[in-house]
Structure 1
Amino acid sequence: MTVGLLITLVVVLLLVLLAIRMPVALALALSGITGLYFLRGDAEYVTNQLGSIPFTQTNSFSLTIVPMFILMGVFAVRARIAEQVYAVARLASRRLPGGLAVATVMACAGFAAVSGSSIGTAATMSRLSVGEMRKAGYPASFAGATVAVAGTLGVLIPPSLFLVLYAIITRESVGAMLASGIIPGILSACAYIAYILVVARKNKEKWAALAQGERQSGFAADVQGDPQDVLELHGIAKREAQAATETLEPVEYMRMNADELRMRDLPLRGVVRVGILFLIVLGGLYSGLFTATESAAMGALTAAIMLVWEFRRDGVKAVTSNVVEALKETAGTTSMVFAIVVGSGILSAFFISARLPQMVTDWASGLGLNPYLTLGALLLLLVPSAWPLTHYRFSSSQCHSSTR
């Protein structure tokens, strides 16, 4: 068997394992193990690699930043920061075409600045906004796609867990990597909002008619956004989606319509808290007051204080329960992240042994293309990420059938 054929079979195996919903970490590891075995033909070599790779991949003090950022995001969710930011965004955008969708993007951008997770952002905002958008007449596919696409802001806007892991693996500066995500994150949010404004203005009457029909049928009162529909666009399995969407019951200001909201009713403390966390993490990092790891730890500590302050009137039991659940969720998510890091290390070991990086480099160099043309081709590969938002159907029956 040639090396090229073996690489192709390993990639196909990986795609098949992912298609049958095998956990990502296991799919990566099994694909890498299979490739190493058939490449070397030596079971002892494979077992030696399996004994050393997990240690070498995780033996880095820099990785302590990962559980700290995860803990900060979980504390922020349980401190109701996402709900508070979304309530403010609803009032700020209520006069705009597609105001609820615009508010969803704004809230995703704000919450991404404290969560660091695309999955956490999409899961939290889907529970808050999908049902509200469908009550207002938005097609189910558009409402779900809006949250799915806007949730990707969690990958760009710092503190992004993805950027942190990438910086650690590639041995780049964590601070510089986080800074590189600010402008692309803001531009992405603005682009999403601009697209929503155009589409909403074009389909204003159609959506209004859909909302009226749902109100007359009595369906709208019972609409609930299903986070699983949104998270499926992110490739998240059902069990993981249920864990990610385990949040608190909405408070009074989340039950009010946008027209009923007044500035005095809004929890402006949520916006202030986002600013404080963002300032502590990035301000402390770039001012030199904290290292990257220390800034993450300070952010987690500050979010914990916010959680305690939010539930101070509910008693010690409520505070303790939320803190314990946050720690459990953080432990589970951190374990998942580190398992993926180990699995990707095993697969990378196979690719390196098969000299795949060198083969790709030689192939690209042999094309003789302009470097900017090559970069443009790579950027075009990112275009399908916005595909869910640009393809939806306006159908009342779809709204009904999409609700479980």
Structure 2
Amino acid sequence: MEIYHVVLLTLVLLVGLLCIKMPVALALGLAGAVGLVLLRGFDYSTSTLGSVPFADTASFTLTIIPMFILMGMFAVRANIAVNVFAVAHYFTRRAPGGIGVATVMACAGFSAVSGSSIGTAATVSRLAVGQMRASGFPASLATGIVAIAGTLGVMIPPSTFLVLYAVLARESVAALLAAGIIPGILSALSYITYIMIFGQRSVRKELARREGAGGDSGVDGDGERLGEAVEQARRELASKTVSLRELPWRGVVHVGILFLVVMGGMYTGVFTSTEGAAIGALTGLVILVIENRRRGGRHIFAAFKDSLLDTAQSTSMVFLIIVGSGIFSAFLVTAGVTQDITVWVTGLSFHPMLIMAMLLICLIPLGMFLESMSILVLAVPLLYPIAADLGFDGIWLGIMIVKLIEIGMVTPPVGIITFVIAGTANVRSETVFRGVLPLLVMDVITTTLLFLVPGITLFLPSLMT
């Protein structure tokens, strides 16, 4: 059988497995194993299957991932997101679309300690969607804001995506994490700009619609009844008169401490990235104990145990995807696909920027059908050699890949974060997608700016050298 026949058959098998809803990691591993058998025979395949999982996961740098996840789990149970949202809401309450702006700020702040987009979106969704609805935000806009702002978790450090890219591309973890700061802030500012200009118009239309319906604000634009959470949020907004002194400033302080411990230590060279992740997790545990000390030792132990269990579950998922993608990548390398693509692309007569743009844009349709972590581990072995041959910086490439993965996380039909928000907010998934699409325009603008001006991404990493 010709090599290109084997590659085509393996790709068809992979798509078929995904269509029957087999977990992505298992689909990648099984398709890759079948491809290796067809290419080199059973003995070579079993030898590769025995070595690749160990080789791809036996990296000391990968210990950063469970440490960052654990730090995020401690942060969740220390109620950091609740406190940050309350402070952000106080200072933005008089701004156009103020509570929507506060939601983006809360997502950005919580992303700086959680490292997880799904965790950020799910946590802030429970806090903010009801209050945005009570303030007049349509269901689509309220849920869309949380979904798009939740993607900041994969960009703003500590990010497991950036760490995994650094390991796969053999780039500096500390430099990747530093590079994600400015793009993450720019993304958050673009969402805030949209909310203050265009989102406020939607709020006024929604409030006018409610008044026109005889004050029946219990029905939203989709004809669904507002839930009890929305009604409770309305009462809270009407009754709260919090002074500046009464604000839960400890949440902002805790975010600052965790961020400075992790990034400050790595940036100044006091400790390595792996040491910084471990110290960050330890600091998160201390904050968890301090925040829950009045509830007693039993509650603290339960929170600690739940954090460990959630960390083990998330870490297992990440490493299983690494193993499955490693097997499939080994098949691509054995078949010569990566080398052939590199030679073909670098031989094109187009400008390198145009070639790189076309390759990066291909990540968006992949994000519509594949899980985000799988896209990362598949894209890096293919794109990194091409980018290196074309003269592009590996740190910049990592930020561009992660930024496009962000877009894929909220793009139909898969858009995993949109389904998380739909579940936590009890709305239809199409409602969330409808609210996300206008905000994606801001993401496209930000991504274009980062692509055309690499210095924005590389400014902070350049200060570390």
- 1:44 is aligned to 43
Instruction: Report whether the alignment pairs 1:278 with 2:246.
Output: no
Residue type at the aligned position of 1:222: G
Q: 1:202 — aligned with what?
A: 201
Q: 1:351 to 1:208 in 2, by over 3 A?
A: same
| Corresponding position of 1:257 | 237
User: How many pairs were matched up?
Assistant: 371
1:300 to 271, 274, 281: 281
Deviations 1:365-384 (A, max 9, x none): 23211112223334545678
- 268 and 314 in structure 1: CA distance in 2 versus 1, 3 angstrom threshold: same
In structure 2, the partner of 1:117 is 116
Per-residue CA shift, 1:144-174, capped at 9, x if unaligned? 2222211111111111111001111221111
How far 1:118 sits from its partner (Å)? 1.4
Q: Structure 1 residues 349 and 99 mapped into 2: Cα distance closer, same or farther (>3 Å)? A: same
- What SS does the aligned partner of 1:51 have? helix
Q: Return the alpha-carbon distance in structure 1 between the equivalents of residues 121 and 255 of structure 2.
A: 17
1:247 aligned partner? none
- Matched residues in 2 for 1:215 and 1:295: separation? 54
* 2:141–2:199 Cα contact (<8 Å) kept: no
Correspondence for 2:298: 317
Trace 1:4-403 onto structure 2 (pairs within 5 A): 4-40=4-40, 42-210=41-209, 212=211, 213=213, 216=216, 218=218, 222-224=227-229, 256-257=236-237, 260-262=240-242, 263-381=244-362, 386=407, 402=428
Provide closer, same or farther for how the CA distance between residues 254 and 302 of structure 1 changes in structure 2, counting only shifts above 3 A.
Answer: farther
Aligned to 1:395: none
Q: 1:400 to 1:48 in 2, by over 3 A?
A: closer
CA contact (8 A) 2:210 2:217 kept: no
Identity %: 54
Gapped runs of 5+ residues in structure 1?
Answer: 226-251, 393-398
C-alpha spacing 1:379/1:103, structure 2 compared with 1 (3 Å): farther
What letter matches 1:345 in structure 2? G
Contact 1:119 1:151 in 2 (8 A): yes
Closer, same or farther in 2 for the Cα pair 1:98/1:348, shift >3 Å? same
Larger mean Cα displacement after TM superposition, 43-52 or 5-14: 5-14
Question: How far apart in 1 are the matches of 2:10 and 2:262?
Answer: 40
- For residue 436 of structure 2, what is the aligned residue in structure 1? none
Matched residue, 1:239: none
Distance 2:165 2:280 in 1: 20
Aligned alpha-carbon RMSD (Å): 3.0
- Deviation for aligned residue 1:258: 7.7
Contiguous gaps of at least 5 residues in structure 2: 220-224, 366-405, 413-417, 419-424, 432-465
1-structure distance, mates of 2:134, 2:101: 15
Deviation of residue 288 (structure 1)? 1.4
Looking at structure 2, the residues matched to 357 and 214 of structure 1 have their Cα atoms a distance apart, in angstroms, of 63
Deviating more after overlay: 49-58 vs 362-371: 362-371
Query: Structure 1 residues 37, 253: CA separation in 2 closer, same or farther (over 3 Å shift)?
Result: same
Instruction: Please state how far the C-alpha of 1:266 moved relative to its aligned partner.
Output: 2.1
Distance in 1 (CA, whole Å) between partners of 2:234 and 2:280 is 26
Q: Contact conserved, 1:90 with 1:258, CA < 8 A, in 2? A: no
Distance 1:278 1:322, change over 3 A: same
1:347 alignment partner AA: F
Instruction: Give the direction of change, closer, same or farther, for the CA distance of 1:369–1:50 in structure 2 (3 Å limit).
Output: same
Please give the TM-score of this superposition, normalised by the length of structure 2: 0.73
- Structure 1 window deviating more from structure 2 (204-213 vs 180-189): it is 204-213
Give the superposition deviation at 1:261.
Answer: 4.5
Report the CA distance shift for 1:344/1:147 in structure 2 as closer, same or farther (over 3 A).
same
